[in-house]
Structure 1
Amino acid sequence: MILEIRMFGDPVLREKCAPVDGIDDDLRKLAADMQETMYEAEGIGLAAPQVGVPIRLFVYDVRDPDIPPGVLVNPEIVEAEGTVKEEEGCLSIPGLAEIVERSESIVARGLDLDGEPVEIRAEGMLSRCIQHEKDHLDGMLFLDRVSPLKRKILLGKWRKRDRD
Structure 2
Amino acid sequence: MQTITRSYDTYDQAESVVRKLKDIGVVDSDISFVGRRADVDGENHAGEGAGVGGLIGGAAGLLAGLGLIAIPGIGPVVAAGWLAATAAGAATGAVAGGLVGALTKSGVDQQDAHYYAEAVRRGGSVVAVRANEEQAPAIVAVMDGATPIDAVDRRTTYEREGWTQFDPEAPPYVRPPI
Q: Which has the higher contact order (CA 8 A, sep 6+)?
A: 2
TM-score w.r.t. length of structure 2: 0.25
TM-score w.r.t. length of structure 1: 0.27
